[in-house]
Amino acid sequence: MSHNSLQQWTARLSQCELPLLKQSCRDLKQIGSYDNISMAKFSNIVLTDPGLTLAILRAACALPRSRLQDEIHTVDAAAMKLGSGRVKASIEAMCFLEDSVDDESRAIYMQLVSRAYHSAYQAYGMARERVDMAPEELFTAAMLHDLAALLLLVHGDGLLLDFDNLDDEAEQRRKLGFTLLELSHALAQAWQLSSFIVQSLQAYDGETAINPRLYEIHLAHELSVTAQRGWDTPAMGALIEKIARHLHRDPEEAMLEVRDNAIHSAEETLFYGVVPAAASLPGLDEALRNSFIEGTAVPVKPILRGPAQPPPASLAPEHPFSPLHHAIVDQVIDNAKAQLGGDFNLAHFIAEIKRGFVDGMKLNRVFFAMLDNERKYLVSRFMFGNPAGLRNLRIPLRDHNLFQRLLEKPQALRCQDDNRQKVTALLPTEFYRLMDTDQFFLMTICAKGRALGIVYADRYGNDYGLDQTDYEKLCQLCRLLAKGFERLGG
């Protein structure tokens, strides 16, 4: 039993740090110097590690800020406020989880981290479905939901190891005198984290009217906890109904979205070394299920146990890797050409092009946005990849923005290091926030000399980006798509 009050534990833990995962250090080194990488790549790594996320947010929130300055809700904003020097210093001051706790505490810690990432992914997915302008704020807040439990596992002298069920608030009150959520909320206030993060850590009774963004964080957390106990349960069925009502979807649609999010979150974090909730999804492909069950942390160079030891400061870039599957892409190109020269069926043709985008090029988000009748908007028409947040997308054509310029003539563009600043400055602000990446591809689709719309593609959610070979293959597939529309029009 704890002999400290909530205030005493807050005072004690507010002076402590969460440790760094070795995999985070490895990934940061792999992508290269902080000064030379995109913010999206940096954030993707940081947000898999609650210790690293919290360290960067705390460092930024500790800096002086006037009342007129915006609060810091995300890792991106925190890193920009800190600058590269302070970011590096914050990371180098951290010690590794593997050198900070015993094996039992580490196992529980990683289970909570895996659940938090699943929750964050679900909250992010719901926000994008609702076309939230800053879904990354929900991701960040959801990732920190269990920060009190994580801190107690590291700095609580084994206090949580005696719990029968860490999620049981009655047991928490009996053994601690307060709930873990109350401690998380108090710590977030002590560190002066953003008001949105603080509010997300307030208890919610499930009945009171609440901001939709905060509601989605609570729904996502409830979903991640419920999924650990099984997917085919009355509790999960009732929860899917709630999510469907919130998003104005059919329960079947909501479940498909939840399922996809669970799978994607698990695929991105196999290095956690724990079995994710997605592994127990009904009807899951056995090969995928086995990859989740057998997935283990990627081995890294061991370090000596002992005093807190900072990770290596050198982040020398390594050779980039492209997931492009040449054989599939080339087969798709041959099949598409054959369809164009024979009996043409648009549905079959689109399915083949989609296979090239998704299975061949391993793209995440790919869509064709078509001009509306008044030619004032581009409206999403065909979704070739992950559709989350992109249904009913309308891109305005005004102020001579990038899309207007691309529609003036047949052309293609790859946003990369040497043109990133110029290209992103021409994007509609709402669209740039929604896509949340600065490595993407755009190509005008024309038929019989007339612009029909634009294809957008990215590999959002991984660190591969798009290289010159990807660019050339994308152009080939998009040209075939244009010929398909020409063939359809006779």
Quickly state the pLDDT bin for 447 (edges 50, 70, 90): confident
Quickly state the pLDDT bin for 116 (edges 50, 70, 90): very high
C-alpha–C-alpha distance, residues 448 and 454, integer Å: 15
Neighbour tally for 419: CB within 10 Å: 11
362 is written with which tokens? 């391993």
pLDDT greater than 90 at residue 160: yes
Could you give the C-alpha distances from 182 to 68, 170, 201, 202, in angstroms and in order? 29, 13, 8, 7
Query: How do residues 220-277 score in pLDDT, each as one tens digit?
Result: 999 999 999 999 999 999 999 999 999 999 999 999 999 999 999 999 998 999 999 9
| Cα of 458 vs its chain's centroid, Å | 14
Cα atoms in the Cβ-side hemisphere of radius 13 Å centred on 43: 22
Quickly state the pLDDT bin for 131 (edges 50, 70, 90): confident
- Give the model's pLDDT for residue 59: 94
C-alpha–C-alpha distance, residues 438 and 418, integer Å: 12
- Give the model's pLDDT for residue 465: 67
Cα atoms in the Cβ-side hemisphere of radius 13 Å centred on 135: 25
Could you give the C-alpha distances from 159 to 103, 154, 156, in angstroms and in order? 15, 10, 5
pLDDT greater than 50 at residue 67: yes
C-alpha–C-alpha distance, residues 277 and 339, integer Å: 41
Question: In the 3-class helix/strand/coil scheme, how is 195-217 assigned residue by residue?
Answer: HHHHHHCCCCCCCCCCCHHHHHH
How do strand 450-458 and strand 440-447 relate by DSSP bridges? antiparallel
The predicted model scores a pTM of 0.66
9 touches 183 (CB < 8 A): yes
- Give the model's pLDDT for residue 331: 92
321 is written with which tokens? 């890797």
Query: How do residues 283-300 score in pLDDT, each as one tens digit?
Result: 998 888 888 887 544 333
pLDDT greater than 60 at residue 62: yes
417 is written with which tokens? 């290091």
Contacts of 237 (CB under 8 A, 6+ apart): none
316 touches 32 (CB < 8 A): yes
Helix or strand (DSSP H, E) at 382: strand 377-383
Domains assigned to the chain: 6-294 (1.10.3210.10), 326-488 (3.30.450.40)
Task: Fill in the DSSP letter of residue 20.
Answer: B
- Give the model's pLDDT for residue 85: 85
Quickly state the pLDDT bin for 390 (edges 50, 70, 90): confident
